[in-house]
Amino acid sequence: MLPIAVDAMGGDNAPHAIVNGARRAHESNGTPIVLVGRPDEIGDTGGLPVIAASEVIAMDADPGSSVRTMKDSSLVRAAEAVRDGQASAMISAGNTGATMASALLRTGRIKGVKRPAIATPIPGPTGTPTILLDAGANAECKADWLVQFAQMGTIFARARFGVAVPRIGLLSIGEEAGKGSPLVKEAWGLLDEVDWSAHDAKFIGNIEGRDLMGMDCDVAVTDGFTGNVALKTLEGCARNIVGALLEAFETDEQTKAAAEQLYPALLPLYQRFDADSYGGAMLLGTKGPCIISHGSSGEDAMANAISVATDMVELDVVGQIHQAING
241 binds a second copy, rule: CB under 8 A: yes
235 interacts with a second copy by CB under 8 A: yes
- Segment near a second copy (CB under 8 A); pick from 22-30, 156-164, 258-266, 275-283: 258-266
136 binds a second copy (CB under 8 A): yes
* Contact status, residue 139 vs residue 191, Cβ threshold 8 Å: no
135-138's contacts with Cβ under 8 Å and 24+ in sequence apart are 135/224, 135/227, 135/228, 135/231, 135/281, 136/96, 136/224, 136/227, 136/228, 136/231, 137/100, 137/224, 137/283, 138/223, 138/224
- Asked whether the beta carbons of 166 and 218 are under 8 A apart, the reply is yes
CA 72 vs CA 50, 76, 79, 223: distances in Å: 14, 7, 11, 32
User: What is the maximum span of the chain, computed from C-alpha positions, in angstroms?
Assistant: 64
Per rule CB under 8 A, is residue 245 in the interface with a second copy? Answer: yes
Does residue 244 belong to the site contacting a second copy (CB under 8 A)? Answer: yes
Q: Is 262 in the site for a second copy (CB under 8 A)?
A: yes
Judge contact between 233 and 222, C-beta under 8 A: no
Residue in 240, 271, 296, 323 binding a second copy, rule: CB under 8 A = 240
Q: C-alpha angle with apex 304: 298 to 307, nearest 5 degrees?
A: 145
Closest approach, Cβ 135 to a second copy, in A, equals 10
254 binds a second copy (CB under 8 A): yes
Could you tell me which of 310, 293, 311 has the C-alpha nearest to residue 302? 293
Judged by CB under 8 A, does residue 296 bind a second copy?
A: no
Interface with a second copy, residue 246, by CB under 8 A: no
Pick one of 85, 197, 198, 210: the residue that binds a second copy (CB under 8 A).
210
Angle at 116 between CA 59 and CA 145, to 5 degrees: 135
Q: Smallest distance, Å, CB 115 to a second copy?
A: 15
Q: Does 224 bind a second copy (CB under 8 A)?
A: yes
Q: Which of 214, 307, 315, 316 binds a second copy (CB under 8 A)?
A: 214
248 near a second copy, rule: CB under 8 A: yes
Residue 253 interacts with a second copy (CB under 8 A)? no
- The correct pick among 182, 195, 197, 253 for binding a second copy (CB under 8 A) is 182
Candidates 114, 273, 300, 307; binder of a second copy (CB under 8 A) is: 273
Q: Smallest distance, Å, CB 61 to a second copy?
A: 11
For a second copy, the closer CB: 50 or 213: 213
What burial letters (b/e) apply to 182-221, b meaning 16+ CB within 10 Å? ebbbebbebbeeeebeebebebbbbbebebbbbeebbbbb
User: Which residues does 317 contact at the CB level (< 8 Å), separation at least 6?
Assistant: 155, 156, 159, 284, 289
Q: Which stretch binds a second copy (CB under 8 A): 79-87, 171-179, 276-284, 303-311?
A: 171-179
- Smallest distance, a second copy to C-beta of residue 177, A: 13
Bridge-based pairing state of the strands 290-292 and 89-92 = parallel
Q: Which of 94, 121, 124, 298 binds a second copy (CB under 8 A)?
A: 124
Q: Which residues lie near a second copy (CB under 8 A)? A: 124-125, 136, 139-140, 171-173, 179-182, 184, 208-214, 222, 224-226, 228-245, 248-249, 251-252, 254-255, 257-259, 261-262, 264-266, 268-269, 272-273
